[in-house]
Amino acid sequence: MRYDFTIPFLIHSGGSFSIDNMLKAIATSGHGALDEVEGAICRVERKLKVDFLCKYVRHTKQDGKYFPELTGEGDVWNFDVSRWK
- 38-71: b or e for each residue (b if 16 or more CB lie within 10 Å)? eebeeeeeeeeeeeeeeeeeeeeeeeeeeeeeee
Element (DSSP H or E) covering residue 1: none
> What is the chain's pLDDT, residue by residue, as a tens digit (85 residues)?
566 677 778 889 888 889 899 888 888 776 666 778 888 889 988 998 999 999 999 889 888 888 999 999 988 876 667 776 5
Domain limits, the chain:
19-72
Structural contact between residues 52 and 44, judged by C-beta atoms closer than 8 angstroms: yes
Taking the model in full, what pTM does it have? 0.62
